[in-house]
Amino acid sequence: MPVVECRNVWKIYEPKVPALRGINLKVDSGEFISIVGPSGCGKSTLLNLMGCLDVPTRGRVLIGGCDTRKLGDAELSRLRREKIGFVFQFFNLIPALTVLENVVLPTVFSGRKDPKKAKKLLEAVGLGSKLRRKPAELSGGERQRVAIARALVNDPEVVLADEPTGNLDSETGAAILDLLSSLNRETGVTLVLITHDPEVAKRAERIIYMKDGKIVREVRK
């Protein structure tokens, strides 16, 4: 069963901006997929729908075979919490909270606060010595590593990363990519990665090419 499946998904923004036009996509467990395409082709929109951060105008998104159209707020929150981890281009950490608190946050919402796990993950991404810092006191690469640790803290089935290296210099970006792909290899977590960079895209097992809200080509290694 695919981890995430899109069936004829459309997203039309008001007023009449068709960002996605009939997307069909299956993501299998443990896969590493990259999505590439020109700016404005609908990559972020697709990822948001896959992560239940938004709802499609038409079509369905299934998470673990479950139709998300039928779910209420509580169940959607639970999916986001338990099955999906997000990594954003602009990090999206909460500035008032420390590094450790940011990573603990998802476990707070799931009612099983787990600072030990958060600490272990932060150590794994090389931030064991900066637990008490605020996001503002970290470099871009460090912030993105915090975001990755946060995405992993509830043991998701899939990590959705929207240009995670877009705001980083190439060296730091490469390190973040290494981190993500090694996570995929070692823990088997499914990884969907949006990027502009063809070199980056090549690291994935499958590359999806998008244009004007449609998938135009798929390449499998």
Partner 1 sequence: MKEIARLAVYNLYHRKLRTFLTLTGVVIGVASIVGLIGAAEGINSVITGEIEKFQSNVIAVVPGEFKLQFSPLSQYEGMKAGKLSERDVEEISKIPGAETVMPSVSSRVRVEYGGETMILTVFAADPEKFREIDTIGVLEGRYFRSGREVLLGYSVAKELFEKEIGIRKKVRINGVEFRVVGVMNKAGGLFRAFDTMIYVPKSSAKKYLELSGITEIDVKVEEGYDPGAVASRIEEKLKELRKGEKDFTVISPDFSRSIANQILSAMQILLGGIAGISFLVGAIGISNMMFTSVLERTREIGIMKAVGATRRQIMAIFLIESGVIGFFGGILGVVFGYGIGEGFLALRQYFVEKSGVQTVVERPHVLISPELVVAALLFSFAVGILAGAIPARRAADLQPAEALRYE
Ligand X SMILES: Nc1ncnc2c1ncn2[C@@H]1O[C@H](COP(=O)(O)OP(=O)(O)OP(=O)(O)O)[C@@H](O)[C@H]1O
Alpha helices in the chain (DSSP H): 43-50, 73-82, 99-109, 115-124, 140-152, 170-187, 198-201
CB of 143 to ligand X, least distance (A): 19
Stretch that binds partner 1, among 14-22, 23-31, 72-80, 213-221 (CB under 8 A): 72-80
77 is a site residue for partner 1 (CB under 8 A): yes
Using CB atoms within 10 Å of the CB of residue 129, give its burial: 0 to 12 exposed, 13 to 18 middle, 19+ buried. Answer: exposed
Contacts with Mg ion, 5-44, as mask; x by CB under 5 A: ---------------------------------------x
According to CB under 8 A, which one of 42, 56, 88, 183 is a site residue for partner 1?
Answer: 88
202 secondary structure, DSSP code: T
Query: Which of 94, 170, 187, 199 touches partner 1 by CB under 8 A?
Result: 94
Q: Is 49 exposed, middle or buried (0-12, 13-18, 19+ CB in 10 A)?
A: buried
Strand, helix or coil for residue 114: coil
CA distances from 125 to 12, 58, 142, 208 (A): 38, 39, 9, 28
| Tokens linked to 158 | 């899939």
Which residues contact ligand X (rule: CB under 6 A)?
A: 13, 17, 19, 39-45
Q: How far is the CB of 213 from partner 1 (least distance, A)?
A: 16
* Interface residues toward Mg ion, by CB under 5 A: 44
* Interface residues toward partner 1, by CB under 8 A: 48, 51, 53-55, 73-74, 77-78, 80-82, 86, 88, 92-94, 96-97, 105-106, 108-110, 113, 150, 154
